[in-house]
Amino acid sequence: MWNCGYNGAGYGHWFFGGGIIGLAITGLIIAIIAFLIFKLLKANQGSSPGSLDRNDSLMILKMKFAKGEINEEEYQNKKEILSSN
């Protein structure tokens, strides 16, 4: 009647054709986009500048202690200070 392109044989208005194959392709593309968004959001959660600085500082402190540049007392004091922030 209105000639909307629907002939009643399972072909609707999906992004990539009609029927089951069009639905599957559309669902796959939506799933891929959702997965990528999830990965981007998850990657940005742990990368706050404060946590990176603290981890870097602790790593440098461990290296100095391992090289013998600081003694155990200095290491423990500085580690406690860095860990409390």
Look at residue 62 and tell me whether its pLDDT is greater than 70: yes
Q: Do 75 and 65 contact (CB within 8 A), yes or no?
A: yes
Q: Quick one: tokens of 17?
A: 């054709």
What tens digit of pLDDT does each residue of 16-35 get?
Answer: 666 788 788 888 999 999 99
Nearest C-alpha neighbor of 58 from the set 72, 70, 75: 75
Residues of the chain with pLDDT > 70, as a percent, come to 65
pTM: 0.39
